[in-house]
Copies of this chain bind each other. A is one copy, B any other.
């Protein structure tokens, strides 16, 4: 396995800092310090801050694709695979209470900044939406699949926002249980009894 390149390290640290502090509030100096290189060296790898943002979004797209692919391979059925998605809210709850959802908060910040990369950030949501719609389609709800996928995404985003604001684990557990019940209430038309 090759050693991690400086460029890869920069993108990894920038990804974490953009998540934890926000894009605007993260300076080149912050990233350089996290990587352990000088500010000058920085510009050998990225010309502008927007270039780093592009690389961070590309990285998140890649990793999201990999995660969804993993759930696709491991989950025994669409219902179980959707549960993998929902389980993220529990697995990452301490980070979510501190910094929110990485995708939702980035999209919101870029919207306020009027940043050109907002559309690319939304594409990460698009990956989740399409994957969830695929699962729902497999359950047999072909015509409403995308609508239900957007509803599920919105629900999880709402939980993330409220979890960040109130830092209430019981609330998260309760909502996750609610999503689970909602999922169970979806009729499985692919396996008629």
A171 interface residue, CB < 8 Å from B? yes
Which residues in B have their C-beta under 8 angstroms from that of A99? Answer: 111-112
A167 to B: closest C-beta gap in Å? 9
Which residues in B have their C-beta under 8 angstroms from that of A166? Answer: 122, 125, 150
**Measured between alpha carbons, how far is A155 from B20 in the docked complex, in Å?**
24
**Measured between alpha carbons, how far is A122 from B100 in the docked complex, in Å?**
14
Q: Is the interface of A mostly helix, strand, loop or mixed?
A: helix
**Which residue of chain B has the shortest Cβ distance to A156 in the bound complex?**
B158
Question: A128-153 toward B: CB 8 Å interface, digit per residue (1/0)?
Answer: 00000000000000000001001101
Interface residue stretch chosen among A21-29, A57-65, A76-84: A21-29
- How many chain A residues sit at the interface, stated as a range, is 35 or more
Query: Are B158 and A171 within 8 A (Cβ)?
Result: no
Which residues in B have their C-beta under 8 angstroms from that of A150? Answer: 162, 166, 171, 174-175
* Residue of B24, B153, B154, B161 touching A107 (CB-CB under 8 A): B161
Which residues in B have their C-beta under 8 angstroms from that of A174? Answer: 147, 150-151
